[in-house]
A and B are shown apart, each in its own frame.
Chain A
Amino acid sequence: MIELDALARTIAAANAVVVVGAGTKRDVGGAVPSGATEVRVPAGMVSYEPADMTVSVLGGTPVALLDGALAEHGQECPLDPRDSAATVGGVLAGGLSGHRRLRLGPARDRLLEVRFLTGDGRVVRGGGPTVKNVTGYDLPRLLVGSLGTLGVITQVTLRTQPRPQHSSWAVSDAPPDDVRDRLFRPTCLAWDGRATHVLLEGHPEDIASEQARAGLRRVDGPPTWPEHAHRGRASVRPGALGALAARLEEVACSWIAEGGVGTVHIGTDTEIALADARAAVEAESGWLLRETGAPNLDPFGIALPNFELMSRIKDAFDPSGKLNPGRLPYTRVAA
Chain B
Amino acid sequence: MNRVIEVDVEARVAWVEPGVLNLDLSRMVTHLGLHYAPDPSSQQACTIGGNVATNAGGPHCLAAGVTSSHILALDIVLADGSVARLGGLEPDVPGLDLRGCFVGSEGTMGIATRIAVRLQPNPPCVRTLLLDFMSIDAAAATVSAIIAAGIVPSALEMMDARITRAVEDYVRAGYPRDAEAVLLAELDGLPAGVEAAVAVVDRVGREHGARTVRVAADAAERALLWKGRKSAFGAIARIAPDYYLHDAVVPRTRLVEVLHQVYEIAAAHELIVVNVFHAGDGNLHPILVFDARDPGIWDRVHAAGDAIVRACVAAGGVLSGEHGIGLEKRDLMPLVFNVDDLDAQARLRDAFDPDGRANPQKVLPRGSRCGETMRVPEGAWV
Contact = CB atoms under 8 A, between A and B. Distances in A.
A239 B249 CA distance: 39
A165 B274 CA distance: 38
A87 to B, nearest CB: 20
Interface of A: 49-54, 74, 95, 97, 101, 105-106, 108-109, 118, 122-126, 128-139, 141-142, 144-146, 150, 161-163, 165, 177, 184-185, 202-206, 209-210, 233, 235-239, 258, 261-263, 286-287, 289, 300, 302, 304-307, 309-310, 312-313, 315-317, 328
B19 interface: no
11 contacts: A51-B148, A53-B147, A95-B92, A95-B97, A134-B325, A142-B97, A209-B190, A209-B192, A263-B92, A286-B90, A316-B347
Given A134-B321, A261-B91, A316-B348, 12 more contacts: A122-B340, A125-B338, A130-B251, A135-B320, A138-B55, A138-B103, A141-B100, A142-B101, A145-B92, A185-B189, A238-B89, A286-B90
Contact of B93 (A118, A235, A261): A235
B323 interface: yes
Contacts of A302: 94
Interface in B76-105: 78, 84-86, 88-98, 100-101, 103-105
Given A235-B92, A262-B90, A313-B351, A137 B104 contact: yes
A120 to B, nearest CB: 10
A287 B318 CA distance: 38
B66 interface: yes
A305 B83 CA distance: 12
Given A51-B252, A109-B68, A137 B345 contact: yes
Contacts of A202: 189-190, 193
Contacts, number: 238
Listed from nearest, the 6 A-B pairs whose CB atoms lie closest are A141-B100, A203-B193, A206-B190, A316-B347, A205-B192, A162-B150
Q: Which of A124, A131, A235, A328 has the largest number of chain B CB atoms within 10 A?
A: A131
Contact of B249 (A132, A261, A263): A132
Given A135-B336, A184-B121, A51 B348 contact: no
A130 B249 CA distance: 7
A132 B61 contact: yes
Q: Which of A135, A204, A286 has the largest number of chain B CB atoms within 10 A?
A: A135
A130 B351 contact: no
Contacts of A129: 251, 316, 318
B85 to A, nearest CB: 7
B101 A138 contact: yes
Q: Which of B89, B92, B333, B352 has the largest number of chain A CB atoms within 10 A?
A: B92
Nearest to A314: B96
A304 B228 CA distance: 49
Contacts of A49: 251, 253
Interface residues of B, number: 85
Nearest to A328: B95
Contact of A141 (B101, B148, B340, B342): B101
Nearest to A319: B347
Contacts of A289: 92, 94
A304 B94 contact: yes
Nearest to B344: A124
Given A108-B100, A162-B151, A317-B344, A136 B11 contact: no
A188 to B, nearest CB: 13
Contacts of A52: 251-253, 282
Contacts of B104: 134, 137-138
B251 A106 contact: no
A161 B152 CA distance: 8
B191 interface: yes
Contacts of B350: 316
A145 B252 CA distance: 29
Contact of B352 (A123, A145, A185, A309): A309
